[in-house]
Amino acid sequence: MTALTVQGVTKSFGTARVLHGVDLDAPARGLTAILGPSGCGKTTLLRLIAGFADPDTGTITLGEQAVFTGGRSVPPQRRRIGYVPQEGALFPHQSVAANIAFGLSRRERRSGHRLRELLDLVGLDREIAGRNPHELSGGQQQRVALARALAPEPDLVLLDEPFSALDARRREDTRRAVAAALRAAGATAVLVTHDQAEALSMADQVAIMRDGRLVQIDRPATVYRQPRDAGIARFLGEAVLLPADVIDGKARCALGTLVVRAPGVTGPAEVLVRPEQLRLRRDGDGDGDGPTATVREISYYGHDAAVRLSLHPDGLPITARIGGTELPEPGSEVRIIVTGDVLAYPTSNTRGSDPPGKAPPHRP
């Protein structure tokens, strides 16, 4: 069953077109992440779904009910959509308990039963109910904001970059707590984020947004393994993209001859190799086949490391991600082995879909 359906939604602010015909189905009881860089229109889409603003064209349907169609709009307070904004936005003049109970009826507010239930649900100590928002940490504020949104049992919960203001350690804990609470509540959720690790780790379905369009909607593993174009591949983590010539499902490139996963591409292309597909051997070990490279620089992260290499003979820069136990020396020569198959994008296509002057891809 589909909890939320967005069809052909467009929106402009003045002369600037922000959304160019967005289609999205969010399955019930699932978490859909809308992932895109800043300014791509994802927050606008969220606000249209919530009803804080109206689309120029298109329809928005919640379950069976059309909440926006043909210019007729159900006001936000009657849509039964919970909303968790950036930085929580708790009501500063009310205690944690009053914040969570804000959307409840007077009777429910008085009983306190639901309040305790919600505090347990988001994993907060019951003792903080009497505190004021400014006495909470950022992560606690976000959990209270989620509890507040879940309190009236909404049909859909929208989360607008809820973790971006938290520091790295709290972010991970809060993400897990929020995902668990959403699952326990059986809520349908749409999360907007620019952090691909967040989208991939939390969501059941990831929708990639670029320049006001949803360019790919798939399960997390699919969007990572089979990005529709090179731009998406680069946005979803580090990518090694090499010019290649594809014949009969084999790509010949600077890393040797590689097996192409999706058939159908022939001729000049760009192949996508993920850094974790590369293995490094000391030059001279085993058989002398395969490409070699010089180690330029190593970023050591403990659990693993990123090794930046210059590929022989042209000095093409590539990155390998390897386990942190056995590291090569900077300046040494290594042999590169590619594991698994690769994706290939016809060269003319990639050029077309990748606008010039685009910012470099995010690093994980």
Partner 1 sequence: MTKAARERPRGRGYAHWRFPPAVPVLGVLVALLVLLPLGFVASYVAASSWTEIRQLVLRPRTAELLWNTSRLIAGCVLTCAVLGTGAAWLVERTSVPWRGLWRVLLVAPLAIPAFVNSYAWVSLLPGASGYGGALLIVTLSYFPLVYLPVGAALRGLDPALEESAYSLGRGPLRVFWGVVLPQLRPALAGGCLLVGLHLLAEFGALQMLRFPTFTVAIYEQYQSSFNGPAANMLSAVLLACCLLLLLAEQRLRRRARYARVGSGVARPAPRVRLGALTLPAVAALALLAALSLGVPLGSLVYWLVKGASSHVAVGPLGAAAATSLGLGAVAALVTVALALPVAWLDVRRPGRLATLIERSTYFGNALPGIVVALALVTISIRVVPSLYQTVPLLTAAYAILFLPRAVVGVRAALAQAPPVLDDVARSLGLSAMAGLRRVTIPLTAPGLGVGAALVFIAVVTELTATLLLAPTGTQTLATQFWARSDGLAYGEAAPYAAVMVLLSTPATYLLTRDTRRAASR
- Interface positions with partner 1 (CB under 8 A): 13, 16, 38-39, 43-44, 47, 50-53, 75-83, 85-89, 91-93, 102-103, 148-149, 151-152, 154, 158, 164-165
Considering only CA atoms, which of 280, 260, 264 is closest in space to residue 321? 280
Specify the length of the chain in residues. 364
- State the minimum distance, in angstroms, from the CB of residue 363 to partner 1: 19
Question: Considering beta carbons, is residue 102 or 218 the nearer one to partner 1?
Answer: 102
Question: Considering beta carbons, is residue 182 or 307 the nearer one to partner 1?
Answer: 182
- State the minimum distance, in angstroms, from the CB of residue 62 to partner 1: 13
Question: Considering beta carbons, is residue 102 or 283 the nearer one to partner 1?
Answer: 102
What is the rounded CA–CA span in Å between residue 210 and residue 353? Answer: 11
First to last CA, the chain: 34
Return the bridge partners of 298, or none.
307
- State the minimum distance, in angstroms, from the CB of residue 61 to partner 1: 18
Pseudo-torsion of CA 251, 253, 257, 261, nearest 10°? -40
Question: Considering beta carbons, is residue 160 or 229 the nearer one to partner 1?
Answer: 160
Helix, strand, or coil (residue 83): strand
Return the bridge partners of 294, or none.
310, 333
Question: Considering beta carbons, is residue 138 or 364 the nearer one to partner 1?
Answer: 138
- State the minimum distance, in angstroms, from the CB of residue 121 to partner 1: 17
DSSP code string of 324-358: SSS-PPTT-EEEEEE-S-BEEEEHHHHHHHS-TTP
- State the minimum distance, in angstroms, from the CB of residue 304 to partner 1: 31
Whether the Cβ atoms of residue 362 and residue 197 lie closer than 8 Å to each other: no
Question: Considering beta carbons, is residue 82 or 227 the nearer one to partner 1?
Answer: 82
What is the rounded CA–CA span in Å between residue 268 and residue 270? Answer: 7
Question: Considering beta carbons, is residue 148 or 175 the nearer one to partner 1?
Answer: 148
What is the rounded CA–CA span in Å between residue 7 and residue 108? Answer: 37
Whether the Cβ atoms of residue 43 and residue 160 lie closer than 8 Å to each other: yes
What is the rounded CA–CA span in Å between residue 91 and residue 39? Answer: 27
Question: Considering beta carbons, is residue 43 or 193 the nearer one to partner 1?
Answer: 43
- State the minimum distance, in angstroms, from the CB of residue 42 to partner 1: 11
Considering only CA atoms, which of 335, 338, 278, 327 is closest in space to residue 299? 327
Q: Which one-letter amino acid corresponds to residue 183?
A: R
Considering only CA atoms, which of 19, 60, 62 is closest in space to residue 42? 19
- State the minimum distance, in angstroms, from the CB of residue 326 to partner 1: 40
